[in-house]
């Protein structure tokens, strides 16, 4: 049976993905219109407005995620709203920030006709490389903290409480041990929530850092590629689930 948090976020996520798909279409049209110099999309202010809307869409995702995770953080470590494929590709409840740089490199190397990201300046490449180094360092900090939280579950005090809970027969004593266990688990869950938020902050800083290094039309192409990858992964995951039911 699903928890209230799982139900709430599942409903939110479905709507969020649908909206992302709509934004993806807008991003594609914006990029195409800019290339063709039609429908006024040669105006970079309009492209920037579109980029801002999509960036806010991602921020909204994390705002809701953090609010619900405060009620039940474990729901985000075992998400029911994504497929096993998506979950297998996740890093601390979401996409791995360094994957963004591999995506940019892939787009640049493909040198597809009409790609704006294929022609980044040396200054832009320098900024992105500096960001890559900073983000990798931040990822390592998150991974170390996640490992620390995992070790905390097998902490000596936790182990002692577990053994006491098994040995004790007196109802009052068992109740006391269970109370201590709840306090200990509360600390573990708070730690997991902290790690999750730290990972999400690295994700947001990665997106902002890349967008800050790009021109509006390049941001449009970048966000379109990110959105398309996310939507396609979701679709592939659902198809795999249907085929293996």
**CA-wise closest residue to 77 among 244, 193, 203:** 193
Is pLDDT at 171 greater than 60 in this prediction? no
What Å distances lie between residue 165 and 134, 151, 154, 174, 182, CA to CA?
A: 45, 20, 15, 6, 12
pLDDT digits (tens, 9 = 90+) for 109-127: 887 766 888 889 999 999 9
Q: Tell whether the model's pLDDT for residue 164 goes beyond 60.
A: no
Average pLDDT, the chain: 87
Q: What is the pLDDT of residue 58?
A: 97
Place of tokens 């979401």: 94
Q: Which residue bears the tokens 């577990």?
A: 162
Average pLDDT over residues 177-200: 82
- Taking 90 as the threshold, does the pLDDT of residue 172 lie above it? no
What pTM, to 2 d.p., does this model score? 0.87
Whole-number pLDDT of residue 71: 95
- Of the candidates 127, 128, 140, 184, the one whose C-alpha atom is nearest the C-alpha of residue 161 is 184
pLDDT at residue 134 greater than cutoff 60: yes
Residue 188: both structure tokens together: 């573990």
CB 29, CB 220: distance < 8 Å: no
Q: pLDDT digits over 227-240, tens only?
A: 999 999 988 888 88
Task: Please compute the mean of the pLDDT values over residues 178-204 and round it to a whole number.
Answer: 86
> Does residue 147 surpass a pLDDT of 70?
yes
């Amino acid at each position: 049976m699903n928890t209230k948090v799982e139900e709430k976020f599942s409903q939110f996520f479905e709507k969020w993905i649908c909206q992302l798909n709509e934004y993806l279409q807008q991003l594609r049209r914006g990029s195409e219109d800019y290339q063709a110099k039609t429908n006024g999309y040669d105006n970079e202010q309009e492209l920037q407005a579109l980029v801002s809307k999509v960036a806010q869409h991602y921020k909204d995702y994390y705002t809701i995620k953090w609010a619900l995770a405060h009620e039940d953080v474990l729901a985000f470590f075992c998400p029911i709203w994504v497929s096993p494929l998506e979950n297998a590709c996740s890093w601390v409840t979401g996409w791995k920030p360094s994957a963004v740089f591999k995506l940019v490199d892939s787009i640049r190397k493909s040198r597809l006709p009409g790609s704006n990201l294929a022609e980044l300046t040396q200054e832009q490449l320098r900024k992105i490389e500096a960001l890559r180094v900073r983000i990798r360092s931040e990822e390592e900090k998150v991974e170390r903290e996640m490992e620390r939280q995992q070790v905390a579950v097998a902490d000596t005090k936790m182990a002692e409480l577990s053994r006491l809970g098994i040995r004790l027969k007196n109802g009052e004593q068992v109740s006391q041990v269970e109370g201590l266990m709840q306090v200990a688990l509360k600390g573990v869950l708070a730690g997991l929530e902290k790690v999750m938020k730290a990972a999400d902050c690295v994700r947001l800083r990665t997106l902002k850092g890349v967008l800050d290094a790009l021109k509006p039309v390049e941001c449009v192409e970048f966000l379109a590629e990110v959105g398309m990858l996310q939507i396609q992964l979701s679709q592939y995951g659902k198809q795999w689930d249907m085929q293996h039911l």
